[in-house]
Amino acid sequence: YVYWRTTSTLPPVNQLEDFIPGLILYLAELYNIGMLFLSLFVVAMPLPRRKSAPPIPADAPTVDVFVPTYNEEPELLATTLSAALAMDYPAGRLSVYLLDDGGTDEKCNVDNFVAASAARERRAALQTLCEGLGVTYLTRERNISAKAGNLNNGLANSSGDLVVVFDADHAPARNFLTETVGYFDRDPKLFLVQTPHFFINPDPLERNLKTFKAMPSENEMFYGIIQRGLDKWNASFFCGSAAVLRRTALQTTNGFSGRSITEDAETAITLHATGWNSIYVDKPLIAGLQPATFASFIGQRSRWAQGMMQILIYHRPMLKSGLSLPQRLCYSSSALFWLFPFVRLTFLVAPLFYLFFGLEIFTASGAEFIAYVFSYMAVNLMMQNYLYGRYRWPWISELYEFIQSVYLLPAVVSVLLNPGKPTFKVTAKSEELGTRRISELGLPFFIIFAVLALGVVATYWRTIAQPYNADTTLVVGLWNILNLLMAGCALGVVSERPEGRGARRFPVKRRGEISIDGRTAPIVTENVSVDGVAVRVLSKGFDTLPLNSKGEIAFQTSIAMPSGALPVRIVRQASDEKGLVLGCRYEPSEPLHSRIIADLCFSDAGIWSDFQKARRQNMGVVYGTLRFLRIAVFQTSRGLSYFFGLYRFARSNPARKAAE
């Protein structure tokens, strides 16, 4: 049609004003057709799913496990180190190192006496922990280059063929090494095997909107789709943890890169540019903790955004020599993604310029706007649902981007103005929320909501005062209402609910026995988490117990370790037709107890895969949109109730308080 309109208005010269726009439209249509065929080609091309890892060779490479830490609690570190020690691997070929950056000589000798004393106590406590577990403790003189410098200190004081990195809160499953190490024997130029990060606690959005059990987590889009796509082009990159790296590859680039505050992606792009390869294994093989509070969540994402902007500025992926064209595009896309705050906030404020000031942001009638924009939105939603419906519900990407944009925009701008300004900040671990409250970063979202609500009033006034522009005003008003729903949902995100049970419980069946007050009875575990276990007592003679009773449980472990019992405290109990169920909280007091907990919680990665699969349900565009609208309306009212103090806080009874 565009071709016909163009050729039917060929010169004489006085018709050039018709010919040139037609030619531009013609070229635009050719571009759209080309992109459509490219999209169909990409969609038709299946993403890679790697088969099981090759078996570990007879002469298994030596492996050094690095667990870098800065300010994490010893109890958290004990669980991660115990899980690392329990990984299946030939005897004598595995070494575990705790890299402590919170007990460096610099921190132990700082002028602030209180801080110096705390650093010395931390160093002594962690040295005792490592000695009890059989782990090597390492620290250094000064805190230089943050996490990258800490990892490089580990490289300088170890000699394993392969290096495994786990964050302090990332506990591996027993089969982590058997699912990853074999790939290195197949490809001598392989520098990285990366696995996904699986989290056993909800992020602030999931916790405050209560979607953790039903909705795929935000990170599943990245690890389930994007990393697999990057892997197809040999561009999957190091994500800072849950990865195995080849020492000889790291030595060619003087270890982990530390120029940016995202040492992981920077290390990967440097090694890819020198001809090394990477592999992504799409199996959850570690269980970690996400930021619990909205403030910590924003702090983590700000670091990621600033680090990727530094990589974009320092390394210029599109121009970096040594990278293939697909790798250039992949790294550029990963970095440019973090510019979304500019687009998201523009989309937020654009309708307000028309509603408040009458500034036209498009030249079209309301009908034309609906015909073009609504059809685009419908097709866009259907395509997203077709490609990613099992990994991301409709409108959830927009919500995640919206709640981050307010704070990520100044963070990104600061890097663009001064690339060397950002400094590495450790994400808080094991935070607890005991009361309902508005996040300390929540005020801007209430202000935005109020301004958008005024936009609704302005829509009504402009429709009455300027009836000749009513169709345009109504279209822009609907746009503003969509933003208002998104902002209302954000009010629920920044209205922090009590933490309650911080970690998700997973079903684990182990037989054992419980001993309380000299009485012993057989038990079977019902479910476990990193902080407690539910057990069913298999004895009719075991009656109810007072809350806070202390006892011990013993059960068969999945690996050989010294026998022992795990101290517990009874925090809740319930009876059913099958008998008595006790909710127990761990009370570890020695390294062996941490090893027992790790074996109970992290021995079977299949449980995590089953949990992920249960959440990966495609809701469809219509039902997903309706569900989002329902969530938005409820969370708006909840957020406003928190803000004005109208929420009736439930009185906690002693049993519930003990359980939490």
Taken in order 162, 167, 172, 176, is the CA torsion positive or negative?
A: negative
User: Three-state secondary structure along 25-76?
Assistant: HHHHHHHHHHHHHHHHHHHHCCCCCCCCCCCCCCCCCCEEEEEEECCCCHHH
SS3 235: coil
Q: How far, in Å, CA of 87 to CA of 171, rounded? A: 10
One-letter amino acid of 41: F
Q: How far, in Å, CA of 10 to CA of 25, rounded? A: 15
- Name the one residue in this structure whose structure tokens are 């307010």: 406
What would the DSSP string read from start to end of 249-297? HHHHTTSS--SSS-HHHHHHHHHHHTT-EEEE--S--EEE----SHHHH
Q: Catalytic positions, please? A: 101, 264
Characterize the bridge pairing of strands 579-586 and 532-537: antiparallel
Nearest CA to 56 among 210, 199, 181?
181
Q: Crossing angle, helix 443-465 and helix 396-417, to 10 degrees?
A: 110
Contact, 231 vs 279, CB < 8 A?
yes
Residue 280 forms beta bridges with which residues?
Answer: 194
Q: How far, in Å, CA of 453 to CA of 465, rounded? A: 19
Q: Crossing angle, helix 375-388 and helix 621-644, to 10 degrees?
A: 100
